[in-house]
Amino acid sequence: MSEEPDRNVSQVAERVKSALSDLEKDGIMTKIGIDRDAGLVKVYTEKSDALKKASAGLAEILELAYTTAEHHPYWGMLYHAAEISKILLEKWDSDLSQDNTSEIGWRLDEIRMALERAGDMHPHHHQDG
């Protein structure tokens, strides 16, 4: 059964590659990315770069953070880490403002508190050392 999703991804990828070759004939350069574990086939245009790809991936993380219930034990860490990442990617080629650094500091405090709450959920768990 675990081969079925992989086969489906392969079939989708092959069909996408076929369509992309038609675009290439029209002078539109593309690149395909395949993540078999996640069952994803991504298409990038020649204008895609690492920063744009990271921003697109972050949008998926933000969607999860925005739609996850606040009572989930990891919600606060994910949400604030994603928001920090969003600020950093937006400012990648420029300087952080005072407001940016202030917000990042506040969000780091929120992450620390969420981490403490998550740790408190397992008071009997400790590392053997």
Give tens-digit pLDDT for 7-57.
889 999 999 999 999 899 999 999 999 998 899 999 999 899 999 999 999
Same domain (yes/no): 3, 66: no
> Domain limits at 106?
49-129
Same domain (yes/no): 113, 125: yes
Same domain (yes/no): 41, 63: no
What's residue 129's pLDDT?
44
- Taking the C-alpha atoms of residue 123 and residue 28, their distance in angstroms, rounded to an integer, is 57
Question: DSSP readout, 15-29?
Answer: HHHHHHHHHHHTT--
- Taking the C-alpha atoms of residue 65 and residue 76, their distance in angstroms, rounded to an integer, is 8
Other C-beta atoms lying within 10 Å of the C-beta of residue 76:
20
Same domain (yes/no): 40, 11: yes
Q: Among positive and negative, which fits the CA dihedral 2, 60, 58, 81?
A: negative
What's residue 1's pLDDT?
43
- Taking the C-alpha atoms of residue 126 and residue 11, their distance in angstroms, rounded to an integer, is 46
- Taking the C-alpha atoms of residue 108 and residue 106, their distance in angstroms, rounded to an integer, is 5
pLDDT tens-digit readout, 57-114: 999 999 998 888 778 889 999 999 999 999 999 999 999 999 999 999 999 999 999 9
User: Which pTM value belongs to this model?
Assistant: 0.78
Quote the DSSP letter at residue 33.
E
Same domain (yes/no): 69, 114: yes
Mean pLDDT (the chain) is: 89
Same domain (yes/no): 100, 61: yes
Same domain (yes/no): 92, 53: yes
Same domain (yes/no): 54, 36: no
Same domain (yes/no): 43, 65: no
CA angle in degrees (0–180, nearest 5) for 52-57-62? 120
Same domain (yes/no): 103, 90: yes
Same domain (yes/no): 127, 91: yes
Contact 16, 43 (CB under 8 A): yes
Same domain (yes/no): 41, 53: no
Into how many domains does the chain fold?
2
How large a percentage of the chain has pLDDT more than 70?
90
Type of residue numbered 117: R
